[in-house]
Structure 1
Amino acid sequence: MPLSRFIDTMNEKIAGAVSWALLAAVVICSANALIRYIFNASSNAWLEIQWYLFGAVFMLASAHTLKRDEHVRIDVVAGRFSKRTQVWIDLLGFLLFLLPISLVILYYGLPFALLSVQSAEMSSNAGGLIVWPAKVLVPLGFLLLVLQGVSEVIKRIAFLAGKLDASAFAKHVTTPEEEIEAIKAANKLD
């Protein structure tokens, strides 16, 4: 369980940090659109940085999505089973699909990214940016996903062994009261 808690905490912090990339992408997208329409000017670099930021959000927050049990699944079918059966389905899904596929992508993605870093790959677009940071996101994102998958396997096994309550990995639906409390807490920080 300590390993699982460490992985969960790490992915929470990474997701919190990368959430700012989404704000940056929105600001850049808006500014780029305004500049394009007002001054009839644009740059491929501004378009590419938006893609990079979106890629960072997607790749680096996927593990956090898995941790929060927000990933795509067929709840209509799984919801008809007992919690124990649902946990078995999750466990088999992690072991047979998530981890093997993520490890294969990590295996092939790492040399792909390293080659880009070694060659200092640049965009083929005029005025484009360096490409390697975006390519590094692929193995990094899948590494985080593999680690979170290991954490989820640990939690499911602990549940099946009777050592952990399902609330440790079940989807948490925020109530309006909790949202109000979170807003009040954030306002106190300002």
Structure 2
Amino acid sequence: MKLLRRIEYINVLIGKAVSFLIWIGIVVLCWEVVARYVFGAPTIWAHGYTQRIFGAYFVMVGAYTLIRRNHVRVDLLLGTASPRFNAFLDLVNCAFLIVWGVVLVWEGFWLFEDAWRFNELDDSVLRHPMWPIKLSLFLGALLITVQGVIEAVRSLVLIVNPDADIGPADAQGSEIL
């Protein structure tokens, strides 16, 4: 379990670091609004950069969001059943997450590899390379898939022993180590 907690801790650190991308995206958007409406001189780069910033943010923060239990859930059955049944439902959810994640990691790697190998450029005027955003897709999918495996192991332990204390101390992801 110590290894799983260390991996989870790394996911927390990456999630917190990546969360600052939102501020960079806000600055770029504000700059575009001011340039367009105050100075009458819209930029040619702001739209593409904000797409990349928010796209990278969205996929890279997924594992951290899973740790904090902030993904959208429909808890129709979870609040009414035993802890073992709740752990079983979480295990089923994790199984779907892992299957989805493995496919996305596989495809994301090949998308990144092709973009890198063929120097794929976007279709904007600036012709930026596409490999950085495709790398973030691969890494984000890898992080959330690994976190899904950790959650599945946690669910299996809770099915066997519903009183086990195996999760983070709180849903904020603190005190993981």
Is this a same-fold pair by TM over 0.5? yes
Conserved? CA contact 2:56–2:137, under 8 Å: no
Q: Where does the alignment leave 5 or more consecutive residues of structure 1 unmatched?
A: 174-190
CA distance in 2, matches of 1:151, 1:118: 33
Q: For residue 102 of structure 1, what is the aligned residue in structure 2?
A: 101
Q: Which amino acid aligns with 2:54?
A: F
Question: Is 1:91 the counterpart of 2:95 in the alignment?
Answer: no
Deviation at 1:170, TM superposition (A): 8.8
Q: Deviation digits for residues 133-161 of structure 1, max 9, x if unmatched?
A: 11111111110011101111122222233
Q: For residue 133 of structure 1, what is the aligned residue in structure 2?
A: 132
Q: For residue 110 of structure 2, what is the aligned residue in structure 1?
A: 111
Count how many residue pairs are aligned between Structure 1 and Structure 2: 171
Q: Deviation digits for residues 58-82 of structure 1, max 9, x if unmatched?
A: 1111011111122222113322222
Q: For residue 71 of structure 1, what is the aligned residue in structure 2?
A: 71
Q: Deviation digits for residues 116-148 of structure 1, max 9, x if unmatched?
A: 011222111112422211111111111001110
Q: Deviation digits for residues 68-102 of structure 1, max 9, x if unmatched?
A: 1222221133222222211110012212x111111
TM-score by length of 1: 0.82
Which sits farther off after the overlay, 64-73 or 5-14? 64-73
Q: Where does the alignment leave 5 or more consecutive residues of structure 2 unmatched?
A: 173-177
Q: Which amino acid aligns with 1:77?
A: L
Aligned structure 1 segments of 4 or more residues deviating by more than 4 angstroms: none
Q: Which amino acid aligns with 1:46?
A: A
Over the residues paired in the alignment, what is the CA RMSD in angstroms? 1.9
Cα distance change, pair 45–130 in 1 and its aligned pair in 2 (3 A): farther
Q: Deviation digits for residues 19-55 of structure 1, max 9, x if unmatched?
A: 1111100011111110111222223321111111111
Greater helix content = 1
CA distance in 2, matches of 1:172, 1:116: 37
Which sits farther off after the overlay, 61-70 or 127-136? 127-136
